[in-house]
Amino acid sequence: MFIWVTAVLVYLAAVFHRTSLGVASLEASQRFGLGPAALGTFTVLQIGVYALMQVPTGMLVDRYGARRVLTIAAVLMGLGQLLFAFATSYPLGLLARAVLGVGDAMTFVSVLRLVAAHFPARRYAAIASFTAALGALGNLLSTVPLSLLLSSAGWTATFAVAGAATALYSVVLVLRVRDNPIGAVPEPVDRTESLRTVLAQVSQAWRTPGTRLGFWVHFSTMFAPAMLGLLWGYPYLVQAQGLGTAAAGLLLSLLVMGAIVGGPIVGGVISAHPEWRIPMVVGYLVAALGVWAVLLGWPGGHVPLWLLVAGFGVLSFGGPASTIGFALARDYNPLRRVGTATGVVNVGGFVAITVSALAVGLLLDVAESLAPATAFRLAFLSVVAVLVLGLWRTSVWWRRARAAVFDAESRGEEVPVQIRRRSWDLAPA
């Protein structure tokens, strides 16, 4: 338990650093002299690097252990945020966010690998969801508290202290974290295996229907609330909806509170009833489409505050729902491949964030001559398009994953979830 707590604190710091630009986006625009598209590039680069690093991170964790990778992650995040604190030019700011993205990318997969090693499989889904919920506290710190700190201490002091503290925490990780429980015999790992063998392991994880389903679950559920919290939610609320900075920060914190409350709930439900996992995902996605239809279709574009609160409250459950993807990766892959499979799944949501954040920035540039409310309505249509794509692919791979379970049952193999065949299931091969 102590090892898990120590690791979770790194993940909390990673989420704080990842989302720190959310309330600082307008100040960053002034500091670096940026328009919407260039400002969006900060997040697109950071999240793009994160997505690209997920599979390599999973492979590194499986080969070298979570403790080493997590320690390097803390050092890189600290250095990236320190560089961002003192950067005054756009290229240097981009470099800082890229370094930060590499460190961030190494964090969550490492923590989940520790969970898989130190807790029984039946508790994995609950612990993983609770881990994500605790990590969301980092997002909460990056809303109102960070906004107030930026106003009082200033840009350089705020980000420099955060970066230095994170880098120094790597010493605690070296001293306190173990890859495996005391007395446990770790699975043998061949660290001299060829690149072809390593790529074959990635390919095996990707070809597993449960992994592919986890990828699309993560893709479709987490990106919208993350995109709002990371970059575009604050400008949307201030510029398009006319809220004050404090009110906008509080509304963004609702996205975090939903994740904190929803994480343990989702984890408990899917641990007790694993067959409910995908129905819960589909239910959330349908509700999210309804929220976006109301927000974008509201007459005049200025949405009442109570409706913004309700809509953001619904969207906030995307983070907890996304952890279902990691439970799928754990259930359908052997332990020696869990890190790689988790990395594959984690790519999904961050690819969606990258695409949607970039699309929103580009569309805002195109619509700069329009009123802010109208411009954001146009730009957020790209979010709806990504959401529809995710819902479609999730539905496709849900059927394929169910078919794989039925095939395994027919061969007399043990399956992770007992499910009943439905009329809409794929016919037996």
Task: State pLDDT tens for residues 25-38.
Answer: 778 888 888 877 78
Q: CA-CA distances (angstroms) from residue 401 to 31, 53, 213, 321, 394?
A: 49, 26, 7, 18, 10
Short-list 244, 407, 250, 260, CA closest to 319: 260
Angle at 61 between CA 41 and CA 161, to 5 degrees: 50
Residue 298 has pLDDT above 80, yes or no: yes
Q: CA-CA distances (angstroms) from residue 47 to 84, 101, 194, 374?
A: 16, 6, 29, 27
With both helix axes pointing from N to C terminus, report the angle between 2-19 and 155-168 in degrees, rounded to the nearest 10: 150
Mind listing the pLDDT tens digit for each residue in 179-227?
777 655 555 555 555 667 767 878 888 888 889 999 999 999 999 998 8
Q: What is the pLDDT of residue 193?
A: 57
Residue 318 has pLDDT above 80, yes or no: yes
Give alpha helix (H) positions in 144-244: 144-153, 155-168, 170-176, 195-207, 209-227, 233-235
Question: Which residue segments constitute the domains of the chain, with CATH numbers given?
Answer: 2-179+196-410 (1.20.1250.20)
Q: What is the pLDDT of residue 377?
A: 93
Residue 412 has pLDDT above 70, yes or no: no
Strands (E), 29-117: none
Place of tokens 């964030």: 353
Structure tokens given for 227: 């995109």
Please give the Cα distance from 351 to 209 (Å, whole number).
19
Give residue 368's Cα distance to chain centre. Answer: 29
Please state, rounded to an integer, the average pLDDT across all residues of the chain. 85
